Amino acid sequence: DAKTTQPNSMESNEEEPVHLPCNHSTISGTDYIHWYRQLPSQGPEYVIHGLTSNVNNRMASLAIAEDRKSSTLILHRATLRDAAVYYCILRGIQGAQKLVFGQGTRLTINP
Amino acid sequence: DVKVTQSSRYLVKRTGEKVFLECVQDMDHENMFWYRQDPGLGLRLIYFSYDVKMKEKGDIPEGYSVSREKKERFSLILESASTNQTSMYLCASSQSAGRGEQYFGPGTRLTVT
Q: What is the mean pLDDT of chain B?
A: 91
The model's pLDDT over A47-87, given as tens digits with 9 standing for 90+, comes to 999 999 999 998 899 999 999 999 999 999 999 999 999 99
| Contact assignment for B97 to A34 by CB distance below 8 Å | no
Percent of chain B with pLDDT over 70: 95
Contact residues on chain B for A102, CB-CB shorter than 8 A: 42
CA angle B50, B88, A82 (to 5 degrees): 90
| Contact assignment for B43 to A44 by CB distance below 8 Å | yes
The model's pLDDT over A78-99, given as tens digits with 9 standing for 90+, comes to 999 999 999 998 877 665 465 5
**The 3-state secondary structure of chain B, one letter per residue:** CCCEEECCCEEEECCCCCEEEEEEECCCCCEEEEEEEECCCEEEEEEEEEECCEEEECCCCCCCEEEEEECCEEEEEECCCCHHHCEEEEEEEECCCCCCCCEECCCEEEEEC
Best probe of the B interface among A37, A97, A103, A106, by most B CBs < 10 A, is A97
What is the rounded (10 degree) CA torsion for B31, B32, B36, B40? 30
Determine which of A20-34, A59-73, A85-99, B94-108 has the lowest per-residue pLDDT on average: A85-99
Contact residues on chain A for B33, CB-CB shorter than 8 A: 99
Q: What is the mean pLDDT of chain A?
A: 89
The pLDDT of residue A98 is 52
CA distance B105 to B98: 20
CA distance A49 to A32: 7
The pLDDT of residue A20 is 98
Q: With beta carbons less than 8 A apart as the criterion, state whether B17 and B105 touch.
A: no
